A = this chain, B = another copy of it.
């Protein structure tokens, strides 16, 4: 390989205190940093200073990846920044697809640098909503048919997974969350707790726990993540707790 590395870097939820030293080192080494503007805003400014910064809008992921690959090919260590973890609804996959399409897999060394994903940031703020088996589902139907999303959500609810809802609601997609919650009500009791976290570990952070029956979807936007409990989850003070089974073990 004669070319500079391409890093796909997870920034974590956004607070610099959640950025791993490994991610910081990759950003430090990069001469070119590409990202959606919101993610560049979450990148510590001292890591951007004096570098080529490629900023593209939302949904311009293909352009962004192509520009990052071009920069690496030109011999400049390059980082694509993602919020959370780069492997979870982010750019690790598209970076790999871009290298494949251009037959560059052997020429550009790819380094995926993991980060704290949004699901773990939200879970930490809610207490212990996940604990055991869980499923992550995005409600965005830009790249996945809505029927597939619905099928996954129903299956995960029926099999009693804790369900983590990414991309729950946007201005262009205000209706799917209502359908998803209606589906949840088929499989969970009215009091099943739903955790809502907005802007985890960022200014303006909001954390709340609601009963499924009363959940007001109008407060949800694209900066929100929802966690719907399993059949054993419950609200506990300000927390959402999914017990791991220790209590049952003692009883049996």
- Which residues of chain A have a CB within 8 Å of any CB of chain B? 10, 12-13, 15-22, 25, 61-62, 85-89, 92-97, 100, 105-106, 110, 112-117, 120-121, 123-125, 127-138, 142-144, 148-149, 151-152, 154-156, 158-161, 236-237, 239, 241-249
Contact = CB atoms under 8 A, between A and B. Distances in A.
**Chain A, interface SS category:** mixed
Contacts of A112: 123-125, 127-128
B124 A114 contact: yes
A227 B94 CA distance: 19
Stoichiometry, as copies per complex, reads: 2
B87 A129 contact: yes
Contacts of A242: 93
A120 to B, nearest CB: 4
A116 B113 CA distance: 10
A97 B241 contact: yes
Given A100-B236, A116-B85, A236-B100, A244 B94 contact: yes
A86 B127 CA distance: 10
Q: Which of A12, A85, A125, A241 has the most CB of B within 10 A?
A: A85
A131 B87 contact: yes
Given A120-B85, A132-B89, A156-B135, A236 B127 contact: no
Contact of A236 (B15, B92, B105, B125): B105
Contacts of A144: 132-133, 245
A79 to B, nearest CB: 14
A109 to B, nearest CB: 11
A134 B131 contact: no
A97 B233 CA distance: 12
Contacts of A89: 131-132
A157 to B, nearest CB: 9
